[in-house]
Each structure stands twice: as structure tokens, then as C-alpha cells.
Structure 1
Amino acid sequence: MNATQPALTAPPGLGEERQALLRQLVDGLEPAQLYWIAAYAAQQAAHPAARPVPASAVRLTVLYGSQTGNARRVAERFAAEAEANGLPVRLLRAGAYPVRELADERYLAVVVSTQGEGEPPDDARGFVEFLASRRAPKLPKLHYAVLGLGDSSYPLFNAMGRSVDARLAELGAQRLAPLAEADVDIEPVAGPWTEGALALVREKLTRELPTASVTPLRAAPTRPQFHRDRPFPAPVLANQRIVSRHADRDVRHVELSLEGSGLRYAPGDALGVWHRNPRVLVDTFLAVAGLDGDTETVHDGKTQPLREWLARERELTRLSRPLVQAVAARADSAELRIALERPEALKELFDSHQPIDLLRAHPADWDADGLVAALRPLTPRLYSIASSPQAVGEDEVHLTLAVVDYHAHGERHLGAASRWIADADEDATLDVFIEPNERFRLPADGARDVIMIGPGTGVAPFRAFVQARQQAGGTGRNWLVFGNRHVADDFLYQVEWQQALKDRALHRLDVAFSRDQAEKRYVQHVLRERGAELYDWLSGGAHLYVCGDAAQMAKDVHAALADIVATHGGKSPEAAQAWLSERLQDGRYARDVY
């Protein structure tokens, strides 16, 4: 069981043997599965004659594919409200769904996000691939509803939601409700979709259920005291630069106190941070737009000074399609209208410009209400946690982050959250919450070998992994592959890794410093050089983890892994890709990329 869970006293009559069986049953299960077991046990106690719902029975199945936790949260709420309405429900991560049951499903709700270049989240990849394959069954009996979650700062906005919705229809399923597509401001779309889809499901499903079956299976879940919508003000314990003064980037190690919050985390989880936009960026926005920060501004029924909207509630460093559309309209820009019609041009724009660049390049007559409406809502930033509670204590959490600060288009550009955190001194607090990441967990079996690939700040969760493995005293080997620019300037946590090697908490360390030689060398080059040994570890059951940049690093690493499996496993390129896909599905290959 998770080491962060409190010990429970066994009830009377539950002997040692049954306790052992119970521990064996729940080991490795996800929260939603544990929750179902608890609710089912409670139902059996209240209704001894009740029986489990057969796989082919009439019920609502709710699937989610989530990369950052948003789709999981929406799906959990949807399932809880369905049960509160008396419907039999099962809630599953898409990667845990037994696809052989799809042919017999009658009612299905899918909440799926899109990541990167129109790709599925890792925990839904297998389901999406099955659905698109020739093995997918015809689905004339199925009624379904799909909610897609996306980010309009990516050209292929909500590609997965659209793909799943279209494919289910192509297989003969009937839409209960039209596809709904949410941007980063999820609730305005998710709320009405939940309400409408549930009403339609209840209307149809209850006609097929015996009256006795229409009873809630579980109570609505209780939220912790502090969560995404009510963050905890965590005092800053330490905030230090961990690269040399000559390094071309500022990287910080930050320690925060969680004392009194009740928040608990496990290695692999993320810490969400709600930030304020830097004052200098807000002032620049006001100057470029020609607006007064004290102007009372109304949006969605809320009135406050424009400066407060820009500082606390609007996204100022990330472009979105609606903002490009608004600027194109106000500035009457043919260039932007053309970019909106060409995905590659739009992607290039998103990759190279911040919102302030767009406003400078395409001057327009802005009013305060219009500017706030055009900018998308501020969202929290998620940082992979760089500590294990077993090592630093449950009331402390550590982060590793690079401070965004660069020049482009003749101007200095600052990160929003990274600058906010870097400027926090030891008298400050940061508003935080825990974002669980069940897909990115250490194996329950401490004898398993672990391979960790984390260039740059992607090494953060592996600091937590090594700490946890050392505290647990497992016998499995730990191999870290780390990369950065210069060994002398930004070898993050170098002293800790060297000590871990001495203590045998780390059994192997390979590094790639890209700019210490004429030809750049990255972690994927190290992997290919160590291909035979890497495949030997993997074929022996090792778990593989990758953390860091999704745009390029994760793709290059995946391509290197496919080549290694093909070369050293004697497989065709297609078989090697299939082998890696299987590892993604069985949890032995996990990625935390952003």
C-alpha cells in the first residue's frame, strides 16, 4: 500500500490471514478503484442480498484520459453526480478499461484531453489505438457522450475529443449529446455538458433498470480541506539557485512547508502553484494597449480594476486561438487571418510569440472590457515534486524549476509563475495544491529495477524516486540518465547523485552535457550508446520513466527507445513500437512530459 496512507486498526474478527489477503487485494489499486471497493462493501452491508453488477449489465461507464488531472477530476464529478441521481456507474481510467467489453456497452461517457501535437494522454493511448483499429467492434447498441478538454494555444485543439466522438459514431454508436469542447477554462463547458448528458442518460437508462436497482452506490466524495480551487498558502522555507553564477539560465530549488494543510503526496505527484503575473509585465500590457490600470472592468458579472484582472486572473504569457482571432479582428490583420487558417503557421506563431508580442506587432484600439474578454483565464502551473515525504517529512515539499527569462523580438520576456516563485523570499507564501499522478508511480515491488530519464528540470521527480527507494530499502537497481548544457554550470543535484552512488541508492548514472563539445550530445545519444544494457534491463522487467520537455525531448527519447528495442530485441520497427505501446499500457513505461 502507499506509504503515505495512515495505518488502520483491523475490525474485530478480521484475523491476520484475512488482513494479509486484504492488503494483497488493494496493493497497487488507484483511488477510484479503492473507492469503488469501499462503496461496494458498504452496499453489501446495507443490502446483503445485492450482487455485483455483471460486465454486460445496463449501467453507465465513465472513462477518462488525463495528462494533468483535469479530465480525471471532471470524470470523477460526473460519476459522482450520476450515482447521486441513482444510476449504476463504473469509473475507469481509459488505460484500465477492458476493451473486450466495449461491444456490450450500452451507455458510455468519455472525458479525454489532448496533449502536444494532437496526441492522446498516455493513459488513454491504448484505448484510442484500439478504437481506431480494425479490431474495434460495431456499436449499434451504444449511446455515448464525449467531452474533450484542450488548450487553444495548440493548433490541433481538442483533436482527441473530436477523434473519439467521430470514431464512435462511425462504429454505429448514437450520440446522447453533441461533442463538447472545453478550453483551459473548463467549467463553462463541462458544467452544462455534465448536466445535459446526465439528464439524457438518466431518461434512457432508468427505463431499463428494475426499480430496486436505481439506488446510489456511493456517497459523493469529500474533498480535502485544501485543493485546486482553495489552495494552501505554503510558507517558503528555502529558495536557492542551484546552477553556477556563469550559467545562462537560473534554476531554483524551492522548499515549502505544508504543515497544517492536511495535504499528502507521493513521489510522482505534482504541486500546483497559483501565481500572480509580474508587475513589469502587467505595466507593459497596459502601456501597449494604451489603457489605465485603474479602469473598473466588468467580465462574467465580476467588476474590479483592470490591473487586478491582468495580475491575478488573465493569462499573459501564453497565446490562444481566441486571442489571435480577437487581435486579427481589432487590428484588421490579414496576416493573422491567414495564420488562423494554416495549422503550421499558427503553430509557428504560438511557438515564437507571447501575447504582448502580438499586441505590439498588430496595434489596435482596445477597451478594458474587450482586452479582458480576449485574454484567457489564468491557470495554475504544475511542477513535478522533487522530494519524497519518507525522506523530508510529510509537512514539507520540494520543487525544481527553471526561471523563464529570454530576449525575443527586441524585447525581454519573463515567465509568469517561474518569476513569481523565484522572487518569493523566506517570508513569503505560495498558494499550492497537490495534483495526484497515478500514472507516474514507482513499482510496488521494491525488487524491480528502475530506469529514469530526466534532462534539465525533468530530473525533479527522480530525486523523489531515489529518496523513496532508499528509504524503502528495496533491492531493485536504480539507473538515472541526466542531461543539461554544461557540466560545470548546471549539473543539477550533482553532490546528491554522487552520494547516492556511494550509498548504493543509485546504481548507475549516465550524463549528457550538450554544449561541452563541438557536437551536441543529448540523453537520446546516451541511450543509444547504452542500448544493449538498456534493453537487458527492460526485458528483465525494469520500469522506465521519462520526464521533461514534450515538444522535442520526449519524441527523440521515444524514437531512440524504439530503435533500441528493434536492434537489441530483434524486432521490426512496427513490432518495436507495439512493444513500447504495451509497456505504456501496462505501466512499465511512464512519461511525465509538458
Structure 2
Amino acid sequence: MTTSPSLPLPRASADETPDTIQQRQPAAAPPQRRWHWSWKQVWFQLHWFIGITAGTVLVIIGLSGATLAFKDELLDVMNPGVRHVAVESRAPLTPGQLSNIAAAEHGQRVASITMYAQAGAAPRLFFAPKNGQRRGESVYVHPYTGATQPALAGAEFFEWTESLHRWLLLPRDPGRQVAGALALCLLGLALSGLYLRWPRRPLDWRTWLTFDPALKGRSFLWNLHAVAGTWCLVVYVALTLTGIYWSYDVVRDNIDAWAGKPPRVAQAPGKKGPARQKQEAPAVDIGLAWTSFQQHAAGWTLASVRLPTRPGEAVQFTWLASDAPHERARSRLSIAPADGAVTENEPYSQQGLGSRLVNIIYPLHMGTYFGLPGRIIVTLASLGLPLFAITGWMLYLGRRKAKRAVQAQRAMLGAGAPGQANTGLPTLVAYASQSGQAERLALESARALQQAGVAVDVQSLDRFDPAQLRQYERALIVASTFGEGEAPDGTRRFARLLQATSGTPLAGLEVGMLALGDRHYSAFCGFGHALERQLRALGATPLFPLIEVDKHDPAALADWSKALARCSGSAIDAIGVQEQASYAEWRLARRVLLNPGSLGGELHEITLTGPAGTDWEAGALAEIIACNADGSDGDAHGAQHAPRSYSLASLPSDGELQLLVRQERHAGGENLGYGICSGWLTRFAPLDSPIRLRLQANPAFAPALVDVPCIYIGNGSGLAGLRAHLRARQRAGLARNWLLFGERQHAVDSICGAELDAWLADGHLARLDRVFSRDGGTQRYVQDRLRDQAGDLRDWLAQGAIVYVCGSLQGMAAGIDAVLQEVLGQEGLDALLAAGRYRRDVY
């Protein structure tokens, strides 16, 4: 929504400067928002809850996994000359020779031998397990002498680390299940994080993967957490899905059965059954089998040789070819030791698809499927888990701190003054607020009075009846002016009822008035003055002369503080001196002309970036310091221009701040015939130039992220605020939306047409009514279309629909107001306003 630069200020005498997003009060939102969460809120709560609980343990799994990723290389560095010896000219010993030497030296039967084709690589021998053992011992032997190599230093540490990674040092079976549960938690964190971060332009890789190191504070933490998480997302999904395979027997058994593998239960240790007499196989010469293997397995790089355990058994070879796609792509050979005949040959390429897919699980988990780059990526992703835990905790604690500050501020109002008792009838502290500033000042005033020992009753005039004023002897009212001397939207019912009251029913009531406004408008503080006049006409007497506040004028607020002090009889701290949100420096990223050739003047989509991580709510406003064509911000007398306000057309999750700005043109002037702020944004400001901006809360136009229908009505640049609302509703999965939008010509003024059509096609918009006043003979406007659809309007309202209006105050907004009054009657319209179901952002 743009504002008319022909006026000194864009928004007609609303509250002077609303609180920042972090300070805003939620009173303008409908009460049901306290009890209903959107799906996005649910996922957010789950994301942070899992993150601060399971996330801490996942750090241990991540660090241990990173340690194991390069275990072999680390062992070689720690144990030079053990697993690799100097290459000699003589031939290495065969598996049979190595087996005989080791059996004689250690007095144990060799169960299997792992041979390596690489010259100088030490074979590894595995002995048969002893009674009560799950697996036997293993040793490395010299490939040319058969001598046992020294034990690997650090091997016990890596075994302990592997137990920590796989079972968290718990007993094996419960440890596996706990690790599996943590894997599911990591999967949930990854997918919920993806959902929470999903941007409006998902195909723009910069939105996903770009990190801004210049950010500071919470913005830095959020950007780092989100971008790094995106980089690691695919890796975490792969790690969790493969980890679950080993964690749960039911998962592994079903996958193995599908792949055609034999069940593992029959091989599991500790199963009771009839005892069988072990029959040790006599020493078997496997020389012929080894020779036959080398003939049939050309290009082998690794071979696991399983020796026979009973007479007549074949020698089992499981081997890896030099061109194998990964380390588990192993072929199988069975060779009779007596004559070297092949009894079974199963190359990897001929194995079943299911078996080959199962064999991929381990390489994917370790990253070896993609070679050295894959291992590095998995290691970095594992090391990233502490980063997410730390940044997640810091963001969580920051939110908790901010929440406690807000709760403390609210609690102060009910705490009373220490050591003092409130006596007598309470003083009414009431407010009429459009965008939140009047409400904040009223709450601050009430707290100050309470600390001074005065009993207070804080009320919004939105939900107040004039007859209730008779219950009080003293009332302090903070009243904002909207439009040209009008009451704020929510207070219109109160103002109408008060105007209809006659006589002197308020005799005996003392009233003090703080009126908020802007002197650039003809009806400066118009509603405050009108309200005081009517209260006097009804018999109320003034406590002190009405105090006017022009855009948070500190002198006027000081007068208000003094007046409160006189009323309470005690010193009152200055009201309204809290530091206001400072202007931040944003950058002009791009501007796009949306309506070339339009009769209504150019409408541009303005995109600003930075500081990332800044949060706002649909319906919020951007207050921008207006600049001249040369970039200066002063008028001819050197005074800084009054800022301009625009409705935000995007959400924080879009990764950028967007506005829809109408380029205003007028005759001559210091800006060459262009509006001061609109000309700067749409024409003169170079790309990447700094834009001084601060966000404003707009509680009166708060989004409805609950499952109720919403009717959105607007024209021209007013589509900006409606678009942000509709995006928020889409991401919350709320589809009962009806949009009525008016412009001039369909051919050139179909603003954001592709986005609206897509919403209509996918069902996000239940209805879309576009009205173009210059197409056809009779000029018709959006309010005329709404009047034509009065029956549907009644049906939607009967279902609890909330009506949002964004656009020009004169013409469109006034016309919508008239239609609603026709359809509902004055009482029905008042009820809609009182329930917070008629929300306007008009200018």
C-alpha cells in the first residue's frame, strides 16, 4: 500500500509511532487466536522442543560419527608400518600359508582372512570365537613373513567411540533402539526445518544457500542456523534413514526379507537350542582354491576368505572388484579346496536388485558411496550438529528472555505499589487505538498510577459501552485520531453510541484526555477533541485541559506525566520516554514495474534486503525516511522530511521485504515532479542504495491464522497488505479465502496476476473477484461487486468470516463500509467491529 505524497504524511493522523513488532500488544487480535495454532506454529513448537532435548544428545552422535569417518586413516597415522609395510620383491604369502603360521603361533583356528591386492598391505586374520564370545580376536600379519604385527594403538578408543555412536554405551539392544529414536528426531528436525523455512521463491538457490556474514546478533544466529541446516539437509535425511535400518530389527528384517536375504534370527547369539557337538575341520590346503580364485576374479582389490569349518565345505570368497561402484558392491565365489572347482559364482552385477539396494545402505551412511568428497561432506555435516544445538539454544533462550520481558511488563500492571493499598473507586484508564501507540501509552500510564497507589481499571473503548462510564468518578483517556478526524476503526461503535446519548448522565465524572495526532492534517487530534466535547456535553468535567501530542512530542508527554502526578498526588515517572525502534539500513535489491502503460500511474514492486532474520507479522508497516531525487532527506529549510509508511507485501520467510509503491506525479517541485518517497523508491534510488526503514506493528490489521474464513478486499497498491495475509494463510494451510480486488484495466493492471491465478488453481483462494473499472461501458468498482454478492457475503459472515480492507480511504474503503452497513445494518456492523472481524488498513 502506498500513500499519497501530495500530503506531508502518508497515513492520516493515526497513532504517531506504533511500537515495534517485538513490543506490540495483541489486544486487537480476536480472542480465539490464543487457543488456536496454525500448522506452522505447531511445527515450530515441535522443532524447538525436539531441538533442545534430543538435539543435545544428537551432538554426541554427530561428534562420534565424525570421529569414525576417517578411522582407518587416523589409525595409519598413529601406527606407521603396521597395516602397511615396505614393498618387497618377493611374492606375498598365500592365505593358506598365513593361516598355518598364525594357527601355530597363536594356537587358535583361523576363521577368515582379509587379503588386499595392494602391494605391502598387511592381511588381517580373524580367529574363531571362543566359548561365550560373539566374535573372535583379529590380528594384522606381515604379508611377506606371516609374523604378527604390533597391536594397533588407538584401536580401543575407536571401538569405544563406535559403541558410543551406535548404542550410546548402553546394552546393545536398548542402545540401538535409543539411537534409532534419536535418528527419527533428527529426521523430524530436518523436515520441520525445511517446512518452516520454505520461501516464496523455492527455485531461487540464493534464498536457500546464501549466508550473510555481516549480520549480527539474533539475525546472525538465525541466518547461520537456517542456511547451514539447508546445506546439511540431504545428508541428515540420508544418515537418519540408513541409521534406522540398523536400529530396529523389524525394519531391518523386513528390508532384508524384501531383498531376499536369509533371516538373521537363526544366526543371533544367545538363542537357546539343542546343543550340537562341534567338529573341528582338519587342516585343509586352500592353495588350489586361492589359485582358482585369482583366475576367476580378475581385477580384485579386496578379498575376504572364509575357511571351511567342516569336512567337504567349500572355501567362501567375498571380493571387491577394482571397478566396483562402492565398498559393499562385493561378488561371491565358492571354490572346492580339493580340486579348485568353482561351485558357486555370483558376480555383484548379477545379484538381485533388492540385495544391491541393501548393500548401498552402509556406503550412504558413511559417505563412501561418493568417494572422498562424500566422506568429507558427511564429516562436516556430523560436525555441524553442535553448531545447530548451540545456535538453536541461543535462539530459544533469546525468545524466552523476550517473552519473560513481555510477561514482566504485563505483570507490573497487576502488581500494585509495594507497601501501599489501593483505596476508593478505581480510575478508568481507557484508550482508542488504531495501530497500538495509544494502547501502549495507556498501559504505561496505568502502571505509573498503580505504582503511585491509585487503583486503575484499564479498558479499550473498542469493547466499552458509554453507559459504563457512570461506574467511575474519574477517567483518563488516550485517544488516537484516524483519517480526517475520525475515530479508530474499533472505536466507531463507542463514538456513535456516545453521540446518540443525550442529557447529562455523566455528571460527576472527571475526565483527562490525551489526544494523539499529526499537525500536518487539518483535523489534528480531531477525534480526541470531538470525544472530549461530547463528554463535556454529557456533564463530565475536565481534570485538566486536553493535551495534544504531535508524533510522540516529548514536551506534550511530559505535560501528561505532570497531569498524572497531580491526579495521583505522587511523583510520576515520565510517560512515553522509552526508546523507539531505530531506523535500520536496508538495501534496494530490485524494483519491477508491474503495470506498464497503466492509466493509474506506475506501480512498482520494491524489494529490500537486510538485516536478515528481522521478524514481522502480516499486516505490518514499513516506515521509510523520504529522500529527494539526489538522496538528501531534508526540505528547502533543512528539516528532515516526515517519514512515509507502506504496507509490507511479503513475509520474513520470503527472505526479503517487498512493497508495492505507486509512483506519484505532480507539477514541478524539487523532485522533478515526483512524490518525495515514491519518486526515490521507484525512480531515483540506485540499486543497492541504503534505505532507512523501521517496522511498525499494526494490531488493528493483525492476520487470522486460525481456521475461519477470510474476505480480503482492496484496490491498487492495497494489494500489498492483502498479499502478505494470503501468503501467511497459505503457509498455515488455511484455504477459505475470498479476494476482491479492483484496478483500472485488465490488460495492464493485473497486478501479481500469476500469483493470484496460481492460488485460485490450487484452491488456496476459494473465490477471486477482480474488477476493472475502465473495462466496459459502465464504471464499476470493487464495492459494487461486493454489493452484487451480498448473499454470498452474508453466508461467509455467518460462518465467522473476518473482513480485511486495504487501499484508498476515499472511494473504495468508504464504499465497502457502506455496503457492509446495507447488508448487516448498523448494529451488525458494530458487532463485526467489536468482535475484531472488520479490519482496515486504509489511507
TMscore range, shorter length: 0.5 to 0.7
Unaligned runs of 5+ in 1: 11-30, 207-213, 283-306, 315-377, 566-575
Unaligned runs of 5+ in 2: 1-33, 51-402
Matched, 1:482 2:763: no
The answer for the alignment partner of 1:112 in structure 2 is 479
1:384 is aligned to 2:756: no
CA contact (8 A) 2:626 2:680 kept: yes
How far apart are 1:246 and its partner, in Å?
A: 5.5
What does residue 551 of structure 1 align with? 810
Is the contact made by 1:80 and 1:220 (CA closer than 8 Å) also made in structure 2? no
CA distance in 2, matches of 1:531, 1:516: 23
Question: Could you say what secondary structure the match of 2:700 adopts?
Answer: coil
The amino acid that maps onto 1:143 is E
Q: 1:468 aligns with which of 721, 728, 745?
A: 728
Cα gap change, 1:193 to 1:92, in 2 (>3 Å): farther
Q: What displacement does 1:415 show?
A: 1.0
Query: Could you give the per-residue CA deviations for residues 423-466 of structure 1, whole angstroms, max 9, x where no partner exists?
Result: 333311211112111111233522x1110101111111111111
Superposed CA deviations along residues 198-235 of structure 1, whole A, max 9, x for unmatched, are 122212xx6xxxxxxx999xx999968xx44x211122
Report the counterpart of residue 296 of structure 1 in structure 2.
none
Partner residue, 1:437:
698
Q: Are 2:533 and 1:166 aligned? A: yes
- Secondary structure of the structure 1 residue equivalent to 2:839: strand
Alpha-carbon separation, structure 2, partners of 1:545 and 1:164? 26
Identity of aligned residues (%): 30
Any conservation in 1 of the 2:558–2:575 contact (CA below 8 Å)?
no
Is residue 453 from structure 1 mapped to residue 713 from structure 2 by the alignment?
A: yes
Deviations 1:385-412 (A, max 9, x none): 11233x415xx32211111113499x97
The 8 Å contact of residues 78 and 194 in structure 1, kept in 2 or not, is answered as no
Hey, what does 2:639 align to over in structure 1? 313
Does 2:805 align with 1:534?
A: no
Matched to 1:197, the amino acid is: A
Structure 1 residue 37 displacement after superposition: 8.2
Partner residue of 2:688 out of 427, 443, 452:
427
Amino acid at match of 1:275: A
Amino acid at match of 1:66: S
Please point out which of 266, 273, 286 is paired with 2:617.
266
Q: Secondary structure at the match of 1:130?
A: helix
Shift of 1:483: 0.7
Pair 1:420–1:90, CA change in 2 (3 A): farther
Report the CA distance between 1:554 and its aligned residue. 1.1
Question: C-alpha distance in 1, partners of 2:750/2:594?
Answer: 9
Q: What corresponds to 1:197 in structure 2?
A: 563
SS of equivalent to 1:313: coil
Kindly indicate whether the alpha-carbon contact (under 8 Å) linking 1:119 and 1:160 is maintained by their aligned counterparts in 2: yes
Root-mean-square deviation (Å): 4.0
Q: Are the equivalent residues in 2 in contact too, given 1:456–1:484 (CA < 8 A)?
A: yes
Per the alignment, in what secondary structure is the counterpart of residue 553 of structure 1?
Answer: helix
How many Å apart are 1:511 and its aligned residue? Answer: 0.8
Partner AA of 1:556 in structure 2: G
Distance 2:703 2:488 in 1: 19
| 1:13-37 Cα deviation digits (max 9, x unpaired) | xxxxxxxxxxxxxxxxxx9x97588
Determine the structure 1 residue equivalent to 2:753. 494
The offset of 1:467, in angstroms, is: 0.8
CA distance in 2 between partners of 1:126 and 1:57 (Å): 30
Conserved in 2, the CA contact under 8 Å of 1:453 and 1:482?
A: yes
CA distance in 2, matches of 1:239, 1:413: 20
CA distance in 1, matches of 2:562, 2:577: 24
Q: Is the 8 A contact 2:514 2:528 kept in 1?
A: yes
Q: Choose from 578, 589, 592 the match for 2:827.
A: 578
Specify which structure has the bigger relative contact order, considering alpha-carbon pairs within 8 angstroms and separated by 6 or more residues. 2
Letter of the 1:434 partner, please give it.
L
Task: Determine helix, strand or coil for the equivalent of 2:487.
Answer: coil
Equivalent residues in 2 for 1:346-357, closer than 5 Å:
none
Correspondence for 1:276 = 627
Mark the CA change 1:444 to 1:246 in structure 2 (over 3 Å): closer, same or farther: closer
Aligned letter for 1:463?
Answer: R
Please say if 1:243 is aligned against 2:595. yes
Task: Answer with 1 or 2: which has the greater Rg.
Answer: 2
C-alpha separation between the residues in 2 aligned to 1:91 and 1:159? 23
Aligned to 1:414: 674
Q: Is the 8 A contact 2:547 2:560 kept in 1?
A: no
- Report the equivalent of 2:498: 131
What is residue 253 of structure 1 aligned with on the other side?
Answer: 605
Is the partner of 2:764 in helix, strand or coil?
A: coil
Aligned mates of 2:503, 2:657 — CA distance in 1:
44
| Structure 1 residues 145 and 215: alpha-carbon distance in aligned structure 2, compared to 1, 3 A threshold | closer
| Helix, strand or coil at the partner of 2:636 | helix
In the TM superposition, 1:12-411 aligns within 5 A as 35=407, 38-39=410-411, 43=415, 58-79=425-446, 81-83=448-450, 85=452, 87-97=454-464, 101-134=468-501, 138-183=505-550, 185-187=551-553, 190-203=556-569, 227-228=580-581, 230-245=582-597, 248-259=600-611, 263-279=614-630, 308=634, 310=636, 313-314=639-640, 378-389=641-652, 391-393=653-655, 396-407=656-667
Matched residue, 2:68: none
Of 104-113 and 187-196, the range deviating more from structure 2: 187-196
Structure 1 residue matching 2:619: 3-state secondary structure: coil
In structure 2, the CA distance between the partners of 1:71 and 1:42, relative to structure 1 (3 Å rule), is: closer
Q: In the TM superposition, what is the alpha-carbon distance from 1:499 to its structure 2 partner?
A: 0.7
Deviations 1:520-550 (A, max 9, x none): 1210111122121112111221111111111
Q: Deviations over 1:151-183 (max 9, x none)?
A: 444444333112211222233333121012344
Matched residues in 2 for 1:157 and 1:551: separation? 18
Report what 1:349 is aligned to: none
Are 1:80 and 1:221, in contact at CA under 8 Å, matched by a contact in 2?
no
Number of residue pairs aligned between Structure 1 and Structure 2: 450
AA paired with 2:548?
E
CA distance in 2, matches of 1:392, 1:553: 29
Alpha carbons of structure 1 residues 187 and 215: separation in structure 2 relative to 1, 3 Å: closer
Q: How far, CA to CA, are the matches of 2:414 and 2:805 in structure 1? A: 39
- The DSSP-based 3-state class of the residue aligned with 2:534 is helix
Whether the 8 Å contact between 1:239 and 1:424 is mirrored in structure 2 is no
Give the letter for the 1:231 counterpart: Y
Query: Would the alpha carbon gap of residues 76 and 106 (structure 1) be closer, same or farther in structure 2, given more than 3 Å must change?
Result: same
User: Compared with structure 1, are the counterparts of its residues 434 and 488 closer, same or farther at alpha carbon in structure 2 (3 Å cutoff)?
Assistant: same
Query: How far does the alpha carbon of each residue in 1:285-309 deviate from its partner, in whole angstroms, 9 at most, with x for none?
Result: xxxxxxxxxxxxxxxxxxxxxx945
Question: What is the CA–CA distance in structure 2 between the aligned matches of 1:434 and 1:523, rounded to whole Å?
Answer: 29
Q: Is the 8 A contact 1:272 1:434 kept in 2?
A: yes
Distance 1:98 1:132, change over 3 A: closer
Q: 1:160 to 1:249 in 2, by over 3 A?
A: same
Residue 514 (1) aligns with residue 776 (2): no
- Equivalents in 1 of 2:522, 2:577: separation in Å? 37
